[in-house]
A and B are shown apart, each in its own frame.
Chain A
Amino acid sequence: MSGQRKPAGDTVIRVTGLTNIFGTQHVHENLDIEVRRGEILGVVGGSGTGKSVLMRSIIGLQPFSAGEIEVLGHNTAGLDDAAAKDLRRKWGVLFQDGALFSTLTVAENIQVPMREFFNLPPALMDEISGYKVAMVGLPIEAAPKYPSQLSGGMRKRAGLARALSLDPELLFLDEPTSGLDPISAANFDALIKTLRDTLGLTVFLITHDLDTLYAICDRVAVLGDGKVLKVGTIDELLEFDHPWVQAYFKGPRGRAAHKGHD
């Protein structure tokens, strides 16, 4: 759990042979991917390569046609209700634009998982909301506000606070910096890195943002042709000879990001 990392190389997510078919479209075909404990894995790919579908398959929102998914040592297919609930408690998900419950305040949103899984005294839940709000960098006045009263960047941070509500081991982020100005995006990247270091999270990060990849990702997985084309550090990917990967990392934006990072 948080802070006590198991030896490096412990696999948190293991996907083998994943196949997702929508109608006649094979989004994933025999896809394998592994996420190691404590790492921030960036997941990139062209539009339509099934990054969000992959994430949704792992967390059980997307039934898949074939393959096996193992999260935190449990096969997600064979779980009974109690075991599934127990597993869900150990991850947090930040959807695009936060997906906050629109009729609850930020602080109440953070408390929803707590109320769902545990029976904590209300005063304690209020205190926990307090430090979670601060931890994600939201001003404290944002806590009693409704999502509609917040800017996009603040909504994402609020969504992150809710994803971290139960101190999960695993964090899924779906394009967290999309729509953020460069300063906010850089701050968000730094926040993820800090939280990973202090809370011992493993992060599955879907992104288009090259700067995020350079700034905080330990490894990057490139999706394409229904599979993972390559997983590795950015330096390894720069050497990888595939047209899309080369265009992505060595195109004008890729080179700018590389230069900016050095």
Chain B
Amino acid sequence: MSNAAQLDDVITDGGHRLAISGRLTIKHIGSVVPAFQAMQPDQRPLTIDLGGVVRIDTVGAWMIHRLLRDWQASGASAQIQNASPAAKLLIDEVAANDTSCEIRPAMPNRLLYRLDLIGGSLINAVHTLGNFLAFVGMTLTVAAQTVFERRPLRWNAVVHQMEVVGLNALGIIGLLLFLVGIVVAQQGAVQLRQFGADVFVVNLIGRSTMREMGVLLTAIMVAGRSGSAFAAQIGSMKLGQEIDAMRSIGMSPIEVLVLPRVIAMSVMMVLLAFYGSIMAILGGGLYVWAALAIPPASYAARLQEVVPLHDVYIGLIKAPVFGLAIAITGCFQGMQVSDNAESVGDRTTQAVVQSIFLVVVLDAFFAVFFTAIDFG
């Protein structure tokens, strides 16, 4: 069954006589492509004998048609002989459809293309910023409407998101922050031991956790977990035209999808941040008890002495703001998804990266802010 194609070119005074035999199909064409390339027009007439062809498909017909076309274009005569009706039909068919096409959109000058990309990205970034601010505005407007015009809030959705964002994250955030607490305590202890100041590890844990680290790490975890989920959920809905369907029924996607998520995440971030900070403190406490022989009672007492209540307040003020930033970024990116599957993945990634970036920037801002107003 491997009657592969074969080309035999016999050159006489009368011209070329190309005998083709075997199976001239896409499966077998690879081996004879060079032989076809070798047949260059040389002013002599060409006769192609197809008597020995066992099978032919459009690719085989194409090779023959191309050969005929090129010979005839050079002024020499070319014809086929002994072709079966099926072969003739296929050769005529591909001849009638002989058009060359572009495979990809044409690529312009490389340098201009790069400049174009850079310029385009810049313009895009400005547009995106504008869209983002508009999105924040729309969300706040809908939120205000819900409060002041007493529009219905989808409590089911809010509570569901609270479960997904908050309750289901307790395990992972607890574990993460607990381990971080241990690590910070351990690293701090190593350094402070040099000064005989081991006991100040408690200061380290207390001051850094409630105010900074607890909230920040929790926010990063929530961004990765839930920020991406929001973007993916809303993005997939956009892809499947569910958002359009909602709009056509008169439902506002912001009211139905975005607001519940934003509210749920803001509320849950407060609780999660507090919970995370406590877990970090517990982790530190465990290390301190095991390695430095400071019993829990002393640990707790020292914490109370050393950590001002303002630290706790600051942590709890930052948390909902972070939550807001993460939720809005996630939902915004979801809404930006365009018409293919790759876009969903792309926007999900952007949602995570941008929300973490925003959280860190806000953190820095808060640091400066609280110092400037002399609060804590």
Question: A and B, one complex?
Answer: yes
CA gap between A118 and B25 in the complex, in Å:
11
In the A-B complex, the 6 residue pairs with the smallest Cβ-Cβ separation, listed nearest first, are A3-B86, A143-B101, A134-B97, A102-B340, A167-B57, A144-B102
CB contact under 8 A between A114 and B103, given known A2-B58, A4-B86, A103-B340: no
> Is the Cβ of A2 less than 8 Å from the Cβ of B33?
no
* CB <8 Å contact, B90 and A129: no
Within the complex, the shortest CB–CB distance from A189 to chain B, in Å, comes to: 18
Set A3, A121, A133, A200: member contacting B101, Cβ < 8 A: A133
* A128-B59, A198-B93 given; A120·B29 CB < 8 A: yes
Which A residues are in CB contact (< 8 Å) with B108? none
A130 touches B90 (CB 8 A): no
Cβ-neighbour of B103 out of A1, A121, A143, A148 (below 8 A): A143
A170 beta carbon closer than 8 Å to chain B: no
Set A105, A118, A124: member contacting B27, Cβ < 8 A: A118
Q: How far is the CB of A146 from chain B (nearest CB, A)?
A: 8
Contact B342 A102 (CB under 8 A): yes
Chain B residues closer than 8 Å to A148, beta-carbon distance: 339-340
Q: Which of B26, B33, B66, B87 contacts A166 (CB 8 A)?
A: B26
Contacts of A102 in B (CB 8 A): 339-342
Contacts A118-B26, A118-B27 given: A126-B99 contact, CB under 8 Å? no
- Report if A131-B99 is in contact (Cβ < 8 Å); known contacts: A3-B87, A124-B33, A144-B104: yes
How far, in Å, is A240 (CB) from chain B's closest CB?
36
**Inter-subunit contact B103/A105 (CB<8 Å):** yes
Known: A119-B30, A148-B340. A128 touches B62 (CB 8 A): yes
Q: How far is the CB of A154 from chain B (nearest CB, A)?
A: 14
A130 in complex: contacting residue of B30, B100, B340, B342, CB < 8 Å: B100
Minimum distance in angstroms from B261 CB to a CB of chain A: 27
Interchain CB contact under 8 A, B103 and A127: no
* A107 touches B (CB below 8 Å): yes
Size class of the contact patch on chain B: 20 to 34
A-side contacts of B340, CB under 8 Å: 102-103, 148
Q: Are B86 and A140 closer than 8 Å at their CB atoms?
A: no
A210: interface (CB < 8 Å): no
Q: A183 to B120: give the CA distance in the assembly, Å.
A: 41
10 more contacts with CB within 8 A, not counting A103-B342, A143-B101, are A3-B89, A4-B86, A118-B26, A118-B27, A120-B26, A126-B101, A129-B101, A135-B93, A140-B99, A144-B104
Give the residue of A121, A144, A199 whose beta carbon is less than 8 angstroms from that of B33. Answer: A121
Q: Is the CB of B99 within 8 A of A4?
A: no
CB-defined A-B contacts under 8 Å, sample of 5: A4-B86, A103-B342, A131-B94, A143-B103, A200-B86
Specify which of B89, B102, B106, B342 is in contact with A198 (CB 8 Å cutoff).
Answer: B89
User: Chain B contacts of A144 at CB under 8 A?
Assistant: 101-106
Given the complex of chains A and B, what is the CA–CA distance between A103 and B343 in angstroms?
Answer: 10
Least distance between A34 CB and chain B CB atoms (Å)? 25
Assess whether A167 is in contact with B58, with CB atoms less than 8 Å apart.
yes
**Is B225 at the interface (CB under 8 A from chain A)?**
no
Q: Does B231 sit within 8 A of A, measured CB to CB?
A: no
In the complex the two chains form, what is the Cα distance from A13 to B164 in whole Å? 50
Q: Determine if A108 is an interface residue (Cβ-Cβ < 8 Å).
A: yes
- For A89, the chain B residues whose CB sits under 8 A away are 27
Cβ distance A1 to chain B, nearest Cβ, rounded Å: 5
Assess A131 versus B103: contact at CB under 8 Å? Given A2-B57, A200-B86: no
B84 surroundings in chain A (CB, below 8 A): 3-4
A127 touches B62 (CB 8 A): yes
> Does B26 lie within 8 Å of A3, measured CB to CB?
no
| A129 to B100 CA separation, bound complex (whole angstroms) | 8
B305-333 with Cβ < 8 A to chain A? none
Chain B nearest Cβ from A224, distance in angstroms: 31
How far is A119 from B29 in the complex, measured between Cα atoms in Å?
A: 10
- List the B residue with the shortest CB-CB distance to A166: B26
Inter-chain contact B102/A2, CB cutoff 8 Å:
no
Q: Give the docked Cα–Cα distance between A4 and B57 (Å).
A: 9
Q: Which residues of B contact A198 (CB under 8 A)?
A: 89-90, 93
Known pairs A2-B90, A128-B62, A200-B86; A107 contacts B101 (CB<8 A): yes
| A131 partner, pick from B87, B97, B105, beta carbons under 8 A | B97
Contact indicator A114/B97 (Cβ below 8 Å): no
Hey, which chain A residues are within 8 Å of B59, CB to CB?
124, 128, 167
A129 contacts which chain B residues (CB < 8 A)? Answer: 101, 103
